[in-house]
Amino acid sequence: MSGAVQSVLAHLDRVALDAGARSAEIEAARSLPRDLVEALIGGGVFRLAVPDERSGFGADHATVLDAIERCARRDGSTGLVVAAGILAAVDAQHLPRHHADTILGDARVVLGGSRALGGSGRLTDDGDLVVSGRWGWGTGVANCTWIGGGVRLLDGTDGGTANGLDGPDGGDAADGGPRRAATHSGGQRVYAYFRRDQVVVLDTWHAVGLRGSGSTDYQVTEAFVPEGRWLPLGDDRAVDRSTLGDLAPAALAAVAIGLAARAVDEVAALGPVAAADRAGSLALGEAGLTELGLVEAEVAGARAHLLAAVAGADGGPGDRGPGPAPMVAAIDVVDRAVDVVWRCYRLGGAAAVLHASPLQRLVRDAATIVQHPVLDRRHLVAAGRRRLGSG
């Protein structure tokens, strides 16, 4: 690990520590306070995994997941925002060079968005897109400078190569025509990038948990997207097979592991002789200590499972192949982490229900992360079919 990466991680630890001390404030605001966002920007956190050649720090997958977990261990909402920002910045590098340079050339850039197909777009005669749509789970979008969204193209147009990815430097395909070039590999789905001033951020994030993540809805109306400022959804070079697509489920799992680890911390802080008169705290007798050991082991096992599943992706997009392992592992890890949080909540006794107890917030955060659309259990169907040799 380079000294520069270590410096970013140390900075993130300090920001996370501050966020943890301000969890109640963050929840009440339903979004990260601006000073915390500025601290993340100033410390280069959102550029942690951007390649060196684009003024990033080039951190590997394991380092990114560890950073997300450590942040979420302090405050789940902050961890989710950090996860979304880091991965969105990585994916922008796959845009045609001039668009990637424009977006990532800004040292203060913050990216976010949803790959859900919430938008519809039409391709103009000049090869540009005009998009309208609405998306949910826009984590941190209120603080973003560029926001993306999954778009289904209308009128049979195809965004597969209209972004110029077949050209040597992000230029047009050899036949020179964006409409003619857009005839294969991407289907009719793209991930389009919008300027912040094109996006209306809606106030819809009134959630049970992860309240401070600001994962609200957002929309665009007739937003102009110049030729190539999108990525195709559906092939090995595209968003859903790139570092973002591969690691998005794993990043959410890292948030969940952070929540579980914090829950174990909270139970351990009760001590083996926690008095029952301390607002009803449960004494950790022999059975409680046994359970504490078990949940701690469960967290370690979940972490190891996640890291093993993504280890093959460190070489970059396309190297690992199309297998479902990261998604399957992420869903499993989140389930295990949520179970740990609940078990720790039970160990916390009557005091865990009080607003002052971090355990009640951790339960709510866990109940929210497990419902994230990226972790939809329908993804397991493909894994099951593959195991049976029918998919």
Do both 363 and 266 map to the same domain?
yes
pLDDT of residue 381: 86
DSSP string, 283-320: P--HHHHHHHHHHHHHHHHHHHHHHHHHGGGTT-TTSS
For residues 36 and 19, is the Cβ–Cβ distance under 8 A?
A: yes
Strand 216-225 relative to strand 230-232, pairing:
unpaired
Do both 382 and 250 map to the same domain?
yes
The DSSP element (H or E) to which 355 belongs, if any, is: none
Among the candidates 234, 258, 283, a domain finishes at: 234
Give the pLDDT band of residue 272 (cuts 50, 70, 90). Answer: low
Among the candidates 184, 201, 234, a domain finishes at: 234
User: Domain containing 174 — which CATH number?
Assistant: 2.40.110.10
For residues 2 and 273, which has the higher predicted lDDT (pLDDT)? 2
Q: What whole-number distance in Å separates Cα of residue 341 and Cα of residue 337?
A: 6
Do both 220 and 278 map to the same domain?
no
In a domain, 60, yes or no: yes
Residue 387 has pLDDT above 70, yes or no: yes
pLDDT of residue 246: 65
In a domain, 35, yes or no: yes
Do both 246 and 377 map to the same domain?
yes
The DSSP element (H or E) to which 266 belongs, if any, is: helix 243-268
Please give the average per-residue pLDDT across 46-54, as a whole number.
92
In a domain, 123, yes or no: yes
User: Domain containing 342 — which CATH number?
Assistant: 1.20.140.10
Give how far Cα 157 sits from Cα of 109, 151, 190, 229, Å: 31, 12, 11, 16
Do both 266 and 350 map to the same domain?
yes
Per-residue pLDDT tens over the stretch 131-148: 999 999 999 999 999 999
Do both 202 and 268 map to the same domain?
no
Give the pLDDT band of residue 66 (cuts 50, 70, 90). Answer: very high
Do both 277 and 196 map to the same domain?
no
Give the pLDDT band of residue 390 (cuts 50, 70, 90). Answer: low
* Chain position carrying tokens 């995994």: 49
Do both 354 and 247 map to the same domain?
yes
Please give the average per-residue pLDDT across 31-41, as a whole number.
96
In a domain, 325, yes or no: yes
Do both 247 and 162 map to the same domain?
no
Do both 180 and 283 map to the same domain?
no
Please give the average per-residue pLDDT across 51-67, as a whole number.
92
Residue 46 has what DSSP assignment?
G
Give the pLDDT band of residue 288 (cuts 50, 70, 90). Answer: confident
pLDDT of residue 389: 78
Mean pLDDT of the chain: 85
Among the candidates 165, 199, 234, a domain finishes at: 234
pLDDT of residue 202: 97
Per-residue pLDDT tens over the stretch 322-347: 445 788 999 999 999 999 999 999 99
Do both 248 and 376 map to the same domain?
yes
Angle at 53 between CA 89 and CA 67, to 5 degrees: 45
In a domain, 100, yes or no: no
Domain region containing 184: 111-234
For residues 255 and 77, is the Cβ–Cβ distance under 8 A?
A: no
Please give the average per-residue pLDDT across 13-19, as a whole number.
97
* Chain position carrying tokens 């948030």: 255
In a domain, 17, yes or no: yes
Per-residue pLDDT tens over the stretch 164-177: 333 333 343 333 33
Backbone phi, psi, residue 201, to 5°? -90, 125
Residue 160 has pLDDT above 60, yes or no: no
Do both 248 and 199 map to the same domain?
no
Strand 129-138 relative to strand 111-123, pairing:
antiparallel
Per-residue pLDDT tens over the stretch 98-136: 999 999 999 899 999 999 999 999 999 999 999 999 999
Q: State the total domains in the chain.
A: 3
Give the pLDDT band of residue 178 (cuts 50, 70, 90). Answer: very low
Per-residue pLDDT tens over the stretch 217-258: 999 999 999 999 999 986 433 344 444 446 899 999 999 999
The pTM score is 0.86
User: Domain containing 8 — which CATH number?
Assistant: 1.10.540.10
pLDDT of residue 68: 98
In a domain, 376, yes or no: yes
pLDDT of residue 117: 93
